[in-house]
Amino acid sequence: MNDTHHIILKPKTYLQKANSLFKVIIPIASKAELKKVTPIFSLLFLISFVYHVLRCLKITLIVKASGSGAEVIPFLKFWLVMPSAIGFTYFYVWLAKHPNRKTLVYNILGLFSGFFIIFMVFLYPNREELYLNSLANWLSLNLTSNFHGIIPILRNWPEAIFYVMAEMWSIIVLSILFWGFCNEITKIEDAKRFYALIALGANCAGIFSSQFIQLISKFFAESWSQSVTVYLSTIILNCFFIVFIFIKLDNSQNTDNPLNLEQKTSKHKISFLESIKYIFRYKYITLLAAMVIGYNVVFNLADVLWLGQINQRFPSHHELNNYLAQLDFLVGVFSLVTGLFIFSNLMNKFGWKITALVPPIVWLITSICLYIALFAENIGFGLNNLILILGTLQISLGKALKYCIFDQIKEMTFIPLSIEQQRSSKAIVDGIVSRAAKSGSSIVLQGFLIFGVGEIISVTPTISILIIITIFAWIYATNKMGRLISTGKTVEI
């Protein structure tokens, strides 16, 4: 009689289940990969920490400046931020032609560090003497209240310049320099595994920066100027750490090619004008630009409208800065959850198209809910707390999905290009297209403010409708891009 052998499958132990979950969350297979990913994660954490502190600080400084308010933001973004973005992007493309990445890093980070030092030791302490009060007062007497958004920029020009440089940090250092570096040294199959994990550095930075800001606000509750000095000193110190890690990564890249660098080089050096032509010449880049325009128009309009709401609810510097820090904390938490449990599963199960559609759909749902509540408040319903919750959810969820989903799927589309094509196309898409979208939406807001009543709160209903329409256009462009990717038709240049 033959023995019958039965295979008994033992259920997984809790330790085995935990280990399986850990591998899903942190897809690192060896110590060598850990050594490769850790410095990049740390780099993004530091850059994002600076970004979050700068974001809270730039808004508080300009909105709470003398005679200012949320109305100044559209004018700032069009008249100062957009020209600066073009200039910085041109400067970056020119520097990027240099084969030595150290030169690029030294010049970019040195420029920002130098400005923050000047602002901390000279511009902000002496702002009262530097304000153009005489010119601003004369303009106030000779212009109508519809130009309320322009005059504070002239009066408070040190804060206005700081706002511009803070915006340039997010464009040049975070979007172009860091992610451009990652795209250059990463294969697309590695990007699918590592990008969500690396992005957790930005999510954690949002959480840590919010706690840091609230701690400083409590410690220096009686002195806003001292708080500003501490914030800027921390930012400057971080800049030195960022340079150090960048250089260490570049050195290791030159010696052992740590993240499996794709040798996607081209002998043809791409000019600034050629980079701009890519947007119109190739459908792949055109649709990507359309998606970037969609997000930036929606976020810029929604952000300014919401800033007008919270500026009324939080009257002091510290109160507004603390709320913005708490908002960043929520963004960090939502981003952490999305990065750990949602993005990779969406990409693996549903692919690029469905994953890319999640951000605009969430924006659509939260926007409709918020604007219905605002309309109800205008006709007499007391919904102050509900509006605060809905607005906070709209901005925090929208930004979290931007960081953990939108940015990831966008960065993956650059990887098939050569290094020169990546640098140029990415600089144009992230540096100019995104700014053009924000500036275009700012022009719309300026039109309503100048030819309307001059206040953000009063134009909210009309802008709300424009936001909803733009979200549908964003969904359309994403759907078309998904079809293009599903057919395997990437850009061939």
- Look up residue 421 and give its two tokens: 């094509």
pLDDT of residue 238: 97
- Look up residue 19 and give its two tokens: 């280990």
Domains of the chain, with CATH numbers?
28-257+271-485 (1.20.1250.20)
Neighbour-count burial of 299, counting CB atoms closer than 10 A to its CB (0-12 exposed, 13-18 middle, 19+ buried): buried
Among 23, 279, 5, 229, which Cα is nearest to 120's?
229
pLDDT of residue 25: 54
Successive 10-residue mean pLDDT values, the chain, 493 residues: 46 51 54 77 94 95 88 88 87 78 89 97 95 90 74 93 95 87 73 72 88 92 91 97 91 54 46 64 82 93 91 87 93 86 82 91 95 86 86 94 87 71 73 83 84 71 92 94 75 48
pLDDT of residue 260: 42
CA 405 to chain centre: 12
Among 422, 424, 428, which Cα is nearest to 171's?
428
- Look up residue 492 and give its two tokens: 């061939």
How many CA within 13 A on the CB side of residue 14? Answer: 0
Alpha-carbon distance of 485 to 73, in angstroms, equals 37
Q: Which long-range contacts (CB under 8 A, 24 or more apart) does 249-258 make?
A: 249/39, 249/40, 249/43, 249/181, 250/101, 250/102, 250/105, 252/39, 253/185, 258/35, 258/36, 258/185
Alpha-carbon distance of 421 to 104, in angstroms, equals 17
Among 361, 40, 46, which Cα is nearest to 195's?
40
Angle between helices 343-378 and 460-486 (to 10 degrees): 160
pLDDT of residue 285: 80
pLDDT of residue 427: 74
| Contact partners, residue 164, CB within 8 Å, separation at least 6 | 76, 80, 81, 84
